[in-house]
A and B are shown apart, each in its own frame.
Chain A
Amino acid sequence: MRARLRFTLAASVLGLLMTGPFVLTGLLLLADAKDAERAAFVEFLLPRLPLGALITLFGLIVGMLLLRGLFRQYVHGLLRMAETLRLMLGANRNFRVAPEGPPEVRELARAANDLAQQRDELLNNVDEQIRQAKATVEEEKNRLAALMSELALGVVVCNLDGRILLYNSRARLQFKALAQGPTSMSGGALIGLGRSIFSILERGQITHSLENIQQRLRRGSSEPTANFITSTRSGQLLRCQMAPVLRTGADSATTATVDSLPPGPPPGEGGDGASSQAAPAQEVSMGAELQVTGYVLTIENITRNFEREAERDQVLQSLTDGNRAALANLRAAVETLIDSPEMEVDYRERFTRVIADEASAMSQRLETTMSRFADALKTRWPLEDVLAIDIVAAAARRIQDRLHLPIKNEDQDMSLWIRVDSFALIQAVTFLASRLQDHYSIRELRLRLSAEGKMVFVDLIWSGTPVSSETLYTWELEPMNVGAEISPLTLRDVVDRHGGEIWYQRDKAAHNAFFRIVLPAAATPDAQVTDRTQHLHSDSRPEYYDFDLFAARDAEGSGIDPERRLTDLAYSVFDTETTGLQPSSGDEIIQLGAVRIVNNRLLRQEIFDQLVDPAIPLKPEGILIHGITEAMVNGQPRLDVVLPAFHEFCAETVLVAHNAAFDMRFLQVKEDSLGVRFTQPVLDTLLLSAVIHPNQESHRLESIAERLGINVIGRHTALGDAYVTGEVFLKMIPLLADMGIVTLRQALDAAQQTYFSRVKY
């Protein structure tokens, strides 16, 4: 508009400029001339006036056209260019000005384009640098996490509220092993990012140790750590070492602001006054120099060590104190005898009897102690999970080295794991080989490794001379001495210690005979293998840690405040598979799957995945959908044990499900009879989808996932669907924020208002 106004103004000025001088000159001449001249002038001018006006008008039009052309090219052209430049600044960085119009404008466009090019290069450069820096940090973090997960010691890092920020797989396995619950989930679920360590360890113990550490820090101790031994709910003994995590220098600027906020007791945590008061006290007392922000716990299950040590203590005791009295009797008697040469004969006899009695009692005691000591030696064996093939290979090397007996391998299964004392087992195999060589002069021994069910077989095979079973029985009870190497243990000891067996067998068809050592296959490496696959699944980022939780002031424990932001809450995303659609007419849950979201991350290994025996026959049409068969649910726990475990898994989190109303009805139907109540808020991704995309026709999980660009794999298992739902939900959070839906309450309200919420399922 302004440009048009200016054009009009310019046109008017042009008109004035073209007519003005003539008119002015004419008027001046007229004013100066005398009357006669004036009349002659007018007479001369008037008839010729139209011609002059015509020429002037023509000139004016040509001038206007010229002006318009210039205006179009310079003013409008520049305006258009300004618009495209704005576009380049904002919405579309890759847009470029098309050089058009007069050379000057084109030159300007080219210069602007060059500038944009330069800017893009700079920006890309910065982006690249940021990306690289991020990648380095990520790599370091992952290296740390990988290192942690390989440690043979359980490691858990917590913030001051006892929320877990990091744990390694050993800690997870250890706590899983502590689980007493009927399902594998009930205890293993207790360890998880953002979960409270106090569900595993005594709160008082932790608080006390923290206080000790802080005292040591104040005294300037070089080793501000605390050790304690604690027992778990299942009566296991854990040895823990606690080391503080101190606020680093870089963060100290923020310390002041954090400190000035009243930390205050977390609201929903009633009945726990001690800890609520402890937290602010710690903050204040630490002052500015050293502030504890959390702690590292290394945890070791010492229940077995403890029993072992107690036994060895007893052995030691009976060897020392147990002999004192007897020795005193002996010594007193002997000294008296020596010092009293005049002693009467019957007295002398009594003294001699004392000496004989005590001496024989002492040797007997020594004998019993020794046999008990051997037991203690046995219990000292640490069993560890190893690849069976490693043991067999080591045994083969040893036999070849010590006995110079050729060894051949036969059908060795490379994938078998066993739980053994490797040294003793290798010793046992070597012992058998040496006996065979000594007594039956075998020329060659073959080693075979195979498995059947949960049993691993280690076979020592030789051709020719058969051995009688009795021979093996004798060998079993002899100490396993090989050459100069002696062992306090017998073959039977070794076999018993491993919970294994050994026998002799002949294979007449193959003209050979073999000793078979049977060992139970190890169970743990399986768990480790699944861990590894989970690592791969989760975009190669292990989810054992989340240091962002350091900053969270009791992000989870303060109950679920509806005013909290969706991004700050912890969620349990779950799904159920059921026998049918009508819980009220007897349909039952047959599978429950759930995954946790903490700090905006889907934690793919903090899961709940459990089949449930519904105690009613499955419907054939259902089997087509969920693929769960009678055979799969038979022998699985019933809902009355699974639901409480699931309830524990979901504690203090918001529940998320797709078409949650359906799943919630199945849960709620059971609440009264099973005595667990799901009182936490529930978010439904179906309703939220309707909030975000009200004009879309389908709000099925697949459609939403497709819309939001999520790959759907493993659907129609409860856990598979929970994964998809979780990813969908995470994508929805920023979309909701764009609509001004930021807090939990806002999300709940919006969901309620959608059309779908009025539909009853």
Chain B
Amino acid sequence: MSHRILIVDDEPNIVISLEYLMKKEGFQVAVATDGETALQLASTYIPDLILLDVMMPKKSGFEVCQALRADPALVATKIIMLTAKGRETEVTKGLALGADAYITKPFSTKDLVLQIKSLLG
């Protein structure tokens, strides 16, 4: 059984690459382009891993992360946060709010895939 990945990012130009990469690795992929859709989708789709962008309109990645972690159905779901801000404080915040990993843009696709695989075990 293949893992389910939810990609949350408002920028189609990164979503296209992420989606292609994940599918290529044999994962099932769903995409949400804003925080609210992401939350709705997550509660039904129950992904194994979420790639979550921090800077999004309406709900920020931090808010989404916090809400996801409040949902008992998603206890097992891993969260990788993607951010365009490289500040240490943000990394700390993301991890504190329940993210499992924090990746700063730009990143190497190979590293991302490795990170995902190691999280999914």
Say whether B110 faces chain A, with CB atoms less than 8 Å apart: yes
- A contact residues around B106 at 8 Å (CB): 324, 327-328, 330-332
CB of B107 within 8 A of CB of A331, answer yes
Residue in A321, A333, A336 whose CB lies within 8 Å of B85: A321
Q: A532 contacts which chain B residues (CB < 8 A)?
A: none
User: Is A325 a contact partner of B55 (Cβ separation < 8 A)?
Assistant: yes
Stretch at the interface among A305-313, A350-358, A425-433: A350-358
User: Which of B13, B20, B85, B105 has most A Cβ within 10 Å?
Assistant: B13
Q: Which chain A positions have C-beta within 8 A of B114?
A: none
Q: Which residue of B lies closest to A331 (CB)?
A: B106
Contacts of B21 in A (CB 8 A): 332, 336
A260 within 8 A of B: no
Contact indicator B13/A357 (Cβ below 8 Å): yes
Rounded to whole angstroms, the CA-CA distance of A332 and B108 in the bound complex is 7
Contacts of A325 in B (CB 8 A): 11, 14, 55, 84, 105
Cβ contacts under 8 Å, A324 to chain B: 84-86, 104-106
A341 CB to closest chain B CB, in angstroms? 12
Contact between A333 and B13, CB atoms less than 8 A apart: yes
Q: In the docked arrangement, what's the CA distance between A347 and B105, Å?
A: 23
Bound-state Cα–Cα, A333 to B105, Å: 13
A327/B105 in contact, CB under 8 A: yes
Interface size of A by CB at 8 A reads 22
In the assembled complex, the Cα of A402 lies from the Cα of B104 at a distance in Å of: 51
Chain A hits for B108, CB < 8 A: 331, 335
Chain A positions within 8 Å of B24 at CB level: 340
Q: A328-B84, A339-B109 are in contact. Are A354 and B13 (CB under 8 A)?
A: yes
Please give me the residue from chain A that is nearest to B103 by CB atom: A328
Interface residue? B1 (CB, 8 A): no
Interchain CB contact (< 8 A) of A332 among B18, B85, B86, B104: B18
Query: Which secondary structure characterizes the binding site on chain A?
Result: helix
Q: In the assembly, what is the distance between CA of A363 and CA of B101, in Å? A: 31
Residue of B nearest to A354 (CB): B13
Q: How far is the CA of A320 from the CA of B55 in the complex (A)?
A: 15
**Contact at A329–B14, with CB atoms within 8 Å?**
yes
A354 lies within 8 A of B109 (CB): no
The residue from B55, B85, B109 contacting A335, defined by CB atoms under 8 A apart:
B109
CB <8 Å contact, B14 and A351: no
Is the beta-carbon distance between B105 and A336 smaller than 8 angstroms? no
Give chain B nearest CB distance to A641 CB in angstroms. Answer: 50
| Chain B neighbourhood of A340, CB < 8 A | 20, 24
A329-372 interface mask toward B, CB cutoff 8 Å, 1 = contact, 0 = none? Answer: 11111011001100100010011001001100000000000000
Residues of chain A within 8 A (CB-CB) of B110 are 335, 339
Per-position binary interface string of chain B over residues 7-37, scored 1 when its CB falls under 8 Å from any chain A CB and 0 otherwise = 0000101101110110010000000000000
B residues in contact with A336, CB < 8 Å: 17, 20-21, 109
Of A321, A333, A357, A358, the residue contacting B84 (CB under 8 A) is A321
Distance of A649 Cα from B11 Cα, bound (Å): 63
Interface centre among A327, A328, A343, A351 (most CB of B within 10 A): A328
When chains A and B are docked, how far (Å) is the Cα of A357 from the Cα of B82? 21
B-side contacts of A354, CB under 8 Å? 13, 16-17
Assembled-state Cα–Cα distance A325/B20 (Å)? 18
A428 to B8, CA, bound (A): 54
Most buried by A among B18, B86, B109: B109
A contact residues around B17 at 8 Å (CB): 329, 332-333, 335-336, 351, 354
Determine if B107 and A329 form an interchain contact, defined as CB atoms under 8 angstroms apart: no
Which one of A324, A325, A347 has the greatest number of beta carbons of chain B within 10 Å? A325
Which B residues touch A329, using CB under 8 A?
Answer: 11, 13-14, 17
**Shortest distance from the beta carbon of A452 to any chain B beta carbon, whole Å:** 55
Residues of A within 8 A of B104 (CB): 324
Query: In the assembled complex, which residues on chain A have CB atoms less than 8 Å from the CB atom of B20?
Result: 336, 340, 343, 347, 351
Residues in A with CB closer than 8 Å to B107 are 328, 331-332
Distance of A324 Cα from B82 Cα, bound (Å): 11
A355 (CB) vs chain B CBs: closest residue: B13
| Nearest chain B residue, comparing its CB with the CB of A347 | B20
A572 to B13, CA, bound (A): 74
Most buried by B among A320, A332, A354, A358: A332
Which parts of A282-338 form the interface with B (CB within 8 Å)?
320-321, 324-325, 327-333, 335-336
How distant is the Cα of A89 from the Cα of B9 in the complex, in angstroms? 104
Q: Which residue of A lies closest to B17 (CB)?
A: A332
Whether the Cβ atoms of B86 and A321 lie closer than 8 Å is yes
Complex contacts, A357 vs chain B, CB 8 Å: 13
A354 to B18 alpha-carbon distance, docked (Å): 13
Q: B84 contacts which chain A residues (CB < 8 A)?
A: 321, 324-325, 328
Query: CB < 8 Å: which of B18, B82, B86 contacts A320?
Result: B86
State the Cβ distance, B17 to closest chain A Cβ, in Å: 4
Q: How far is the CA of A142 from the CA of B58 in the complex (A)?
A: 66
Residues in A with CB closer than 8 Å to B13 are 329, 333, 354, 357-358
Chain B residues near A332: list those with CB within 8 A: 14, 17-18, 21, 106-107, 109
Complex CA gap A358/B12 in Å reads 11
A321 to B107, CA, bound (A): 14
Give the residues from 92 to 113 in chain B that come closer than 8 angstroms, CB to CB, to chain A: 104-110
Interface bits A499-532 vs B (CB < 8 Å: 1, else 0): 0000000000000000000000000000000000
Most buried by A among B11, B16, B107: B16
Instruction: Identify the closest chain A residue to B107 (Cβ).
Output: A328
Chain A residues, Cβ within 8 Å of B109: 331-332, 335-336, 339
CB-CB nearest in chain A for B83 = A324
Nearest CB to that of B104 among chain A residues? A324
B14 CB contact (under 8 Å) in A328, A339, A347, A350: A328
List of B residues within 8 angstroms of A343 by Cβ: 20
Complexed CA–CA distance, A330 and B109 (Å) = 11
Complex CA–CA separation, A357 to B16 (angstroms): 13
Nearest neighbor of B53 in chain A, beta-carbon distance: A325
Q: Considering the chains assembled together, what is the distance between the CA atoms of A333 and B108 in angstroms?
A: 10
Q: Which of A700-753 contact B (CB under 8 A)?
A: none
Which residues from chain A contact B105 at a C-beta distance below 8 Å?
324-325, 327-328
- Cβ contacts B51-88/A at 8 Å (1 or 0 each): 00001000000000000000000000000001011100
Minimum CB–CB distance from B32 to chain A (whole Å) comes to: 17
Contacts of A330 in B (CB 8 A): 106
Q: Taking CB as reference atom, which chain A residue is nearest B82?
A: A328
Q: Which residues of A contact B86 (CB under 8 A)?
A: 320-321, 324
A68 to B108, CA, bound (A): 133
Known: A335-B17, A351-B17, A354-B16. 8 other contacts (CB 8 A): A321-B84, A324-B106, A329-B13, A329-B14, A330-B106, A331-B109, A333-B17, A351-B16
A-B contact pairs, 8 of them (CB 8 A): A321-B86, A324-B84, A325-B84, A328-B105, A331-B109, A332-B17, A332-B18, A343-B20
The list of the 4 closest CB pairs from A to B, nearest first, reads A328-B105, A332-B17, A328-B106, A324-B84
